[in-house]
Chains A and B, each alone.
Chain A
Amino acid sequence: MIYLDNAATTKPDGECLKTAEKYLLSEFYNPSALYKGGYGLQCELRETRKNIISLIADFENFELVFTSCGTEADNQALFCGGKRGNVVTTEGEHSAVFSAVSELKQRGIEVRFAKLNSDGSVNIENLLSLIDGKTSLVSVIHVNNETGAINPVNEIAQKVKTKNKFTLFHSDGVQAFGKIPFRLTKDIDLYSVSAHKIGGVKGVGALFKRKNLVIKPFIFGGGQELGLRSGTENIFGIKNFEFAAVKKYKNIKAYYEKALKLNALFREKLDKTLFTEISNINCSPYILCVSAEGLRGETILHDCDDSGLIIGTGSACSSNEKKRYSRVVQACGYNEIVADGILRISFSCENTENEIIEAADILNKKVALRKEKMA
Chain B
Amino acid sequence: MEKIIIVRYSEIHLKGKNRGYFERALILNMEKSLKGLKHEIRRQSGRYIVEAFEEDEIDNILSKLKKVFGIHSLSIALRVKTDLDEISEAAKRVCIESGNFKVSAHRADKTFALNSMQLNAEIGGRLLSCFNNLTVDVHNPDFIVNIDVRENGTTLVFNEFIKGAGGMPVGTSGRGMLLISGGIDSPVAGHMIAKRGMQIDCIHFHSYPYTNMQARDKVIELAKVLSKYTCGTKLNIISVTHIQEEIHKKCNGEYMVTLLRRFMMRIAENIAKKCGAQCLITGESLGQVASQTVEGMTSSNSVIKDLPVLRPLCGFDKDEIIERSRQIGAYEISIQPYEDCCTVFLPKHPIIKPSISSVMTEEAKLDIESLLKEALSTLEVIDL
Contact = CB atoms under 8 A, between A and B. Distances in A.
A, B bound: yes
A214 interface: no
Contacts of B163: none
A373 to B, nearest CB: 5
Interface in B226-276: 245, 248-249
A303 B248 contact: no
Interface string B211-225: 010000000000000
Nearest to B246: A373
B249 A298 contact: no
A319 to B, nearest CB: 9
B245 A306 contact: no
Interface string A294-317: 001011111101100000000000
A322 B337 contact: yes
A374 interface: yes
B208 interface: yes
A302 B249 contact: no
A88 B32 CA distance: 59
A305 B208 CA distance: 12
B209 A374 contact: no
B210 interface: yes
B212 A373 contact: no
A302 B209 contact: yes
Contacts of A375: 249
A303 B212 CA distance: 11
Nearest to B335: A322
A374 B248 contact: yes
Contacts of B245: 373-374
Contacts, number: 21
A299 B209 contact: yes
A82 B210 CA distance: 41
Contacts of A306: 209
Contact of A299 (B210, B248, B249): B210
A296 B343 CA distance: 12
B10 to A, nearest CB: 40
A373 B337 contact: no
Nearest to B210: A299
A306 B213 CA distance: 13
Interface string A92-113: 0000000000000000000000
B209 A373 contact: no
Contacts of A374: 245, 248
Interface string A277-307: 0000000000000000000101111110110
A70 B249 CA distance: 45
B209 A303 contact: yes
A300 B208 CA distance: 11
B208 A373 contact: no
Nearest to B213: A302
Nearest to A295: B210
Interface centre among B209, B245, B249 (most CB of A within 10 A): B209
Interface in B68-109: none
Contacts of B249: 373, 375
Contacts of A322: 337
Contacts of B210: 296, 299
A302 B337 contact: no
A294 B232 CA distance: 42
B341 to A, nearest CB: 12
Nearest to A322: B337
A302 B208 contact: yes
Nearest to A321: B337
Q: What are the 8 closest A-B residue pairs judged by CB atoms, nearest first? A: A302-B209, A322-B337, A299-B209, A373-B245, A299-B210, A303-B209, A298-B212, A302-B208
Interface of B: 208-210, 212, 245, 248-249, 337
21 contacts: A296-B210, A298-B209, A298-B212, A299-B209, A299-B210, A300-B209, A301-B209, A302-B208, A302-B209, A302-B212, A303-B209, A305-B209, A306-B209, A321-B337, A322-B337, A373-B245, A373-B248, A373-B249, A374-B245, A374-B248, A375-B249
Given A373-B249, A375-B249, 14 more contacts: A298-B209, A298-B212, A299-B209, A299-B210, A301-B209, A302-B208, A302-B209, A305-B209, A321-B337, A322-B337, A373-B245, A373-B248, A374-B245, A374-B248
